[in-house]
Structure 1
Amino acid sequence: MNFPTLDSFGHDPWWLVAAKALAVFVFLVLTVLVAILAERKIMARMQRRLGPNRVGPGGILQSLADGAKLALKEGLTPAGVDKPIYLLAPIIAVVPAITAFAVIPFGPSVSIFGHHTPLQLTDLPVAVLYILAITSIGVYGIVLAGWSSGSTYPLLGGLRSTAQVISYEIAMGLCFAAVFLLSTTMSTSEIIGSQHRHWFILLLLPSFIIYAISMVGETNRAPFDLPEAEGELVGGFHTEYSSLKFAMFMLAEYINMTTVAALATTLFLGGWMAPWPLSLIPGANNGWLSVVWFVAKIWVFMFVFIWLRTTLPRLRYDQFMNLGWKVLIPTSLAWVMVVALIRAATQGAADSTRTWVLAGTGLVAAIALIAGIVRAMRVPDDIAGPPPTTPGLGAGFPTPPLPPHTREVTHA
């Protein structure tokens, strides 16, 4: 296999760089259109209903129609908003979501019109940290949207988003640290190259579980959609937005879903490499076929996003905070220390020895992590217990007794 390295970048002509950037943008927009339609179809299937089936054959043009409708709607700006920030917030949300994909590898090096180039826009020595930093900027769009709207519910949604990012980005960053220790690089293309023998999901299972939970929280998706909880916040941070500005927030959410799914694929699932046993087929990891494996892995995560939204209720705020601060962050920190100790202890040992030690320790740690998650999600006894009873009324909810009969029943 031809794994690109940092030396493989910086040699493309300008028109090839522009073509790559355009291809990434088109891929993200098309993925959003398909993801919205797939989400509505899959949720309908799970809930035993039809879903969109009017626009186009089988409803396949529904997302396009919705996008055109949002673009053509009248944009309303409520009185009392901080107008410059109110208009800038959707842009701040969507631009970092797109630019974060610049360092995501789609495949190995291929030949395009005689130029040998990697299927990746660019790469950096700190590419993963670049993704973490640029996606953090996108959260400012949500926070500023809530603050600039001049309304109570959007402000509460923005504050919730701030707490959510602080709670879950720490755990996510510690997951990255374990990958850096094992691959000895922060470059996305080289991280994929370091997984040519074993995918990191097999060696760093606790990191993968923590990242999978954190990426749902980072994208404000159910059951972590507290910043836009319609039950108590009407619509959350985007309550006062309409038309194209609302569509930009929606676009940013789905692009962020694609970005975190692509990052999980890159860090833990071998990136564009074919899964076993398909990897045994000659040429399975070469050329444009690798893009198929990469996109397929992304859509596995996208399906899980939809599955979670359809099946799980929204967490209470105390459950949400307990999970982040009392389970994910301490476990991530402890696991990074364990990985560092194992790497130092097996420095002169064979690769197979380090692999078995990491895999076995990771399995035990993953079981302990799942037990901690179940415990954190447990409803306290003062909430889950039986309702209070009133003396003389028996167990269950208190209900008033029936009034005594005062009339005599006479029979004719």
Structure 2
Amino acid sequence: MTYLAQSPTLQDFGNEVWWLVLVKVVGVFAMLLLLTLFTINYERKVVARMAQRPGPNQVGPNGWLQSLTDGLKLPFKEEIIPKTADKVVYFLAPVISAVCAFTAFSVIPFGPTVSIFGERTPLQLTDTPVSVLLVLACSGMGIYGVVLAGWASGSTYPLLGALRSSAQMISYEVAMGLSFVAVFMTAGTMSTSEIVRAQENGNPVTFFDMEFTAPGWYCVLLLPSFIIYAISAVGETNRAPFDLPEAESELVGGFHTEYSSFKFAMFYLAEYINMITVSAVCTTLFLGGWRAPWPISFWAGANSGWWPMLWFLGKVLILLFGFIWLRATLPRLRYDQFMRFGWKVLIPVNLVWILALAGIKTIQNQTTASGTRYTIIGGLILAVLLITLLWPTRTAPPVPTLDQQIARRPKGSFPVPPLDLQVPPSPRARRAVAERQPAMASTTSGATATDGAGPASSDEKEV
């Protein structure tokens, strides 16, 4: 096995032999399963250390096999399916979530082009000119699994959790998709391998008639997009402190309340794979992908062979640590505050940033006089300052005391309104009821005729 220090291009995909493609598919699948098992135990240990308590330490060396035993135990637990559930959709919902989570990882680059048993191949399953859009498509399709799980359960709390989760995921997916636009404008491509190649060296920038080289990683050059993506990714994956669709104090378990055994394990697997996927996408688009960080990049062989996979996994684990740190640190937000933050803060700020970036690139590409450039840039800065200073601030009304709240409450009302949301029965449940009604009617008529045949005995009267 020899190593080649070469960045893959779009022409390198689609020409591999069949057995090599099969090996890469199995490798990606196995790596995601192992990363999921590792991340579960990783989270337990980090949260335990932050809470100053012992984490898993009994199963395996230092407790590192605890998540493996949990994964083996779940498929053998008793499976309980509600009678009102739509069986087909109830089964397909976790499958949709898990398949979309696995598919999104197929366009993530792990390293450069290498030679395996004489066959040159990139360390990436596949790539297309619109690979980032494929990730967004898989993320959007995963929402269907959440919505269908809540509806097909035939219960109130799962339906409420599904509605919450779908609204939250859609709103934060908009902000996450807009944060990619700045990367597309800067890199000039939507291919993941080409975006990593664009971050290989510094980007030449001309500003105020001065030419300098901007940092290669887009997390520095496109800092607002990086921050917005980081916030949106946490909201997109329904992770704490944004785990409002699964709030135990409000909705029991959210959309998967009625799931158990292997189907619950698939939802659990999809959640952690989504965490790994958004971390891998962030690494690819903003953190240089598989390229070695400074000062390791000074080593000539750092970006060749299999070493880049190590740098890639290291960046992903650091981002996963951020997910865990947020869960152990911040309290859960209120749902309306969180949705308002996504629609009224993240999306407008993202749009303004994209317009500003487009204006800066237009000025750079045109041969404009220095005085005109200064005037345009100064006008943009002045406009942003004026909008910031003159933006109306809304003061929150004073919170009424408990006595005032009781006095304002109409007589005969409840402190909490009763839950009157009724889930309509599925078509299969309605057909089953319709089929049982004739049999029940005949049974009832027969019992009535028998009871009317003579007087009841003394034993029947006692009963």
TM range, smaller chain: 0.7 to 0.9
Give the match for residue 208 of structure 1: 226
Q: Note the C-alpha offset of 1:57.
A: 2.1
The verdict on how the C-alpha distance between 1:257 and 1:379 changes in structure 2, with shifts beyond 3 A counting, is farther
Q: Give 1:301-340 correspondences, 5 Å limit.
A: 301-340=319-358
The verdict on how the C-alpha distance between 1:279 and 1:337 changes in structure 2, with shifts beyond 3 A counting, is same
Give the match for residue 158 of structure 1: 162
Give the match for residue 92 of structure 2: 88
Q: 2:290 is matched with which residue: 260, 272, 282? A: 272
Q: Note the C-alpha offset of 1:7.
A: 0.9
Q: Give 1:224-243 correspondences, 5 Å limit.
A: 224-243=242-261
**In the alignment, is residue 190 of structure 1 matched against residue 189 of structure 2?**
no
Q: Distance in 1 between matches of 2:121 and 2:162?
A: 42
Give the match for residue 294 of structure 1: 312
Q: 1:382 is matched with which residue: 386, 398, 413? A: 398
Q: TM-score, normalised by structure 2?
A: 0.76
Give the match for residue 20 of structure 1: 24
Q: Distance in 1 between matches of 2:119 and 2:252?
A: 53
Q: 2:35 is matched with which residue: 31, 51, 55? A: 31
Q: Note the C-alpha offset of 1:380.
A: 4.5
Q: Deviations over 1:98-123 (max 9, x none)?
A: 01111000001011111111100000
Q: Where do 5+ consecutive residues of structure 2 fail to align?
A: 202-215, 368-373, 405-463
Give the match for residue 149 of structure 1: 153
1:34 corresponds to which letter in structure 2? F
Q: Note the C-alpha offset of 1:243.
A: 0.5
**In the alignment, is residue 346 of structure 1 matched against residue 364 of structure 2?**
yes
Q: 2:140, 2:170 within 8 Å by CA — same for their partners in 1? A: no
Q: Deviations over 1:246-267 (max 9, x none)?
A: 0000000000000000000000
Q: Distance in 2 between matches of 1:321 and 1:227?
A: 12
1:99 corresponds to which letter in structure 2? T
Q: Which structure has the larger Rg over C-alpha atoms?
A: 2
Q: Distance in 1 between matches of 2:272 and 2:395?
A: 31
**In the alignment, is residue 126 of structure 1 matched against residue 94 of structure 2?**
no
Q: 1:43 is matched with which residue: 33, 44, 47? A: 47
Q: Note the C-alpha offset of 1:277.
A: 1.2
**In the alignment, is residue 77 of structure 1 matched against residue 81 of structure 2?**
yes
Q: Note the C-alpha offset of 1:208.
A: 0.3
Q: Distance in 1 between matches of 2:50 and 2:234?
A: 20
Q: What's the secondary structure of 2:113's corresponding residue?
A: strand
Q: What's the secondary structure of 1:11's corresponding residue?
A: coil
Identity over aligned residues, as a percent? 61
Q: Distance in 2 between matches of 1:381 and 1:72?
A: 54
The verdict on how the C-alpha distance between 1:379 and 1:31 changes in structure 2, with shifts beyond 3 A counting, is farther
Runs in 1 of length 4+ with deviation above 3 angstroms?
A: 378-383, 386-390
Q: Alignment RMSD, CA only?
A: 2.5
Q: What's the secondary structure of 1:117's corresponding residue?
A: strand
Q: Deviations over 1:284-318 (max 9, x none)?
A: 11110000000000001110111111111111012
Q: Deviations over 1:183-208 (max 9, x none)?
A: 00000000000011211111100000
**In the alignment, is residue 256 of structure 1 matched against residue 260 of structure 2?**
no
Q: 2:57 is matched with which residue: 46, 53, 59? A: 53
Q: Deviations over 1:141-194 (max 9, x none)?
A: 111101111111100110001111221111111111110000000000000000
1:298 corresponds to which letter in structure 2? V
Q: Distance in 2 between matches of 1:5 and 1:382?
A: 60
Q: Deviations over 1:184-235 (max 9, x none)?
A: 0000000000011211111100000000000001101011111111110011
Q: Distance in 1 between matches of 2:74 and 2:395?
A: 40
Q: What's the secondary structure of 2:186's corresponding residue?
A: helix
Q: What's the secondary structure of 1:111's corresponding residue?
A: strand
